[in-house]
Chains A and B, each alone.
Chain A
């Protein structure tokens, strides 16, 4: 059984749910390195491996929030399993089929009960969020307010813009910018097809 962490499962799950700095730092200090080492052996770059690890942790966080997580293995083994699934989903979608099948069975041994379509949706949302955070702060604020359901007039007031017309234009530009980044993203362009 894979055990790299210092705590029991419940401590990890509670710490992640509460976004506890100490637990998250411990995960990065003790659980991340062996998972990165594993991923590097699968021919991904250091940066890609770190991205997969981060997406894996966010996937686990999502599962905790929606009460979909019932661990029968250690937390570290589970997180490794999620990262393996994400790696397969993201980087081996249409290639190396034979190897993927072998690896997939290895993953299922780790007991990661995540339906494929849910995993795919999480992958897409994770990626969109990551790209969204690349927009400038004012674009992030405008789009967030808009999708929270605020009217243009309210957004104008909150952001201190000169007119409602400008606010509409700004929102439109920000949307276009995000969509352009999504279209050019190597991962989303394959699975999201904008």
Chain B
């Protein structure tokens, strides 16, 4: 679907069109079968996603289904095969404790680390300034020139050069020290310099607390500091945040 058509359909379904735009668009829908089909499909997606009551009901019965299939397994085990299963479990448990960890920490790091998109880390006002759309408010956040060059290198995925450039930045001269250190941490991670990354994340004092925690957890994992890794993960698991599910998944895989 073309982006402009998609946006029009969205505007239409979100009631963001003027009366005239709406009438014109409805005429197009009536005369264009393909467009009518696309509108219907997006409408169904919208309705399915925003139907909070039904989604909540679905989640609830998913949980009950999980619970009930878990119970069934237990009941089955409790019948004829209880003793045999117990013996087997003991053997398996012994085997499990004797065999080495299933995944190395480096493998887990590689599986869970995804390079973030740079835009994820800086405030919108920064982009307004860089894109030349700054106003009085954004001028306050004017970015240091060296950092700007580093950011462009980061955008181009030239991480080694970006890191060198970032190190040229005089930290006292930047208006966003926390964002600077966060980005420095990410660049160190990209360059496999995990101790430096941990140091940089440690200096982030404002914002990005969950993101910082997630990346620090991965850095600790990469340097085999499982205790500190677990500390970060446990905090993420107990809060509602975008890294919660990943943190849970990683926690499960750790010994």
Contact = CB atoms under 8 A, between A and B. Distances in A.
Interface in B18-54: 37, 41, 44-51, 53-54
Contacts of B41: 192, 194
A57 interface: yes
Interface string A29-41: 1001000000000
Nearest to A194: B41
B14 interface: yes
B57 A61 contact: yes
B61 interface: yes
B44 A24 contact: no
A129 B54 contact: yes
B117 interface: yes
Nearest to A54: B61
Interface stretch (A81-89, A108-116, A137-145): A137-145
Contact of A124 (B44, B58, B64): B44
Nearest to A193: B37
Contacts of B126: 162-163
Contacts of A21: 60, 64
Contacts of B57: 19, 58, 61
Contact of B45 (A128, A156, A160, A161): A128
Given A25-B64, A65-B53, A159 B124 contact: no
Interface string B118-133: 1111111011000000
A29 B68 contact: yes
Interface in A114-143: 121, 124-126, 128-130, 132-133, 136-138, 141, 143
A165 B49 contact: no
A32 B38 CA distance: 37
A192 B53 CA distance: 23
B245 interface: yes
Interface size class of B (residues with CB under 8 A): 35 or more
Contacts of B1: 179
Interface in A8-48: 19, 21, 24-25, 28-29, 32
B47 A125 contact: yes
A134 to B, nearest CB: 12
Nearest to B67: A25
Nearest to A16: B57
Contact of B14 (A65, A124, A149): A149
A128 B58 CA distance: 12
A100 interface: no
Contact of A61 (B46, B54, B127): B54
A136 B243 CA distance: 10
A163 B122 contact: yes
Given A58-B57, A61-B57, A25 B68 contact: yes
A166 B119 contact: yes
A128 B48 contact: yes
Q: Pick the most buried of B45, B56, B122, B210: most chain A CB atoms within 10 A of its CB.
A: B45
A38 B51 CA distance: 30
Contacts of B121: 162
Given A50-B65, A54-B61, A129 B50 contact: no
Contacts of A175: 6
B156 to A, nearest CB: 17
Given A159-B242, A162-B120, A162-B122, A58 B45 contact: no
28 contacts: A19-B60, A21-B60, A21-B64, A24-B60, A24-B61, A32-B68, A54-B58, A58-B54, A65-B53, A125-B51, A125-B54, A128-B44, A129-B54, A136-B245, A147-B49, A148-B50, A149-B15, A160-B208, A160-B210, A161-B120, A162-B118, A162-B120, A162-B122, A162-B126, A163-B119, A163-B126, A166-B117, A192-B41
